[in-house]
Amino acid sequence: MPLSVVVLADTHVPDRFERLHPMLLSALESHTPDLILHAGDICVPDVLNRLATLAPVVAVRGNRDWAFRGSLPWKRDFILGGVRIALLHGHGSWPAYLLDKWQYLLNGYQLERYRQRVLDLAPEAQVVIFGHTHRPAVEWHQGRLFLNPGSASSGVQPDQSPSFGVLQIDGPAQVRATIHHLPTVPRKGRQWATLSVP
């Protein structure tokens, strides 16, 4: 029976939003996850507690996760359904993060730059899951699957909808990933305009 793994990143509660996207939990639940992976920039433990009501959660620390210093690692390596998986945020070391900011200002977003960085950090992984960029991506490269679920709170551009990923694992040779977009919900500052759904 295939494993259904929901993958998300960059929820940014409460540093950018006071609470999770109002439709996130129901959207995740609709995929009946066996496991939830969070690739960092969680910001507060309550986010992981809310996710844990749906399925077990495995998470790593992102560059905004000061509340998790000492309790979450920067990277996790594990095997699911016979597949070697690496979960990391993707920003690298602080010097690499600062250099990346400079490269981003000069050259804009380049998936290849992040792909190489996470590959250097996880050379043995068959599936590399990362966040940080707020840009969803599913790409097979050199026999490895690279999955960035995008941001579960907001995209880089105002018209870019929040997103998450779903990883289906049915043995080492049967791995699929898809990106799912959440409806764009109006917001005022750090608050969602519609708060009727928890």
Question: What confidence score (pLDDT) does residue 90 get?
Answer: 77
**pLDDT greater than 60 at residue 197:** no
> pLDDT (tens digit, 9 = 90+) per residue, 118-138?
788 888 999 999 998 889 999
- Number of Cβ within a 10 Å radius of residue 198: 10
CATH of 3-192 given 3.20.20.70, 3.40.50.300, 3.30.360.10, 3.60.21.10 = 3.60.21.10
* Percent of the chain at pLDDT exceeding 90: 58
Average pLDDT taken over every residue of the chain: 88
Predicted TM-score of the model (pTM): 0.88
Question: In degrees rounded to 5, what are phi and psi of residue 135?
Answer: -120, 115
**pLDDT greater than 80 at residue 63:** yes
Question: In degrees rounded to 5, what are phi and psi of residue 113?
Answer: -65, -45
Question: What confidence score (pLDDT) does residue 66 get?
Answer: 85
DSSP code string of 108-132: ---HHHHHHHHHHH-TT-SEEE--S
Rounded mean pLDDT, 27-33:
98
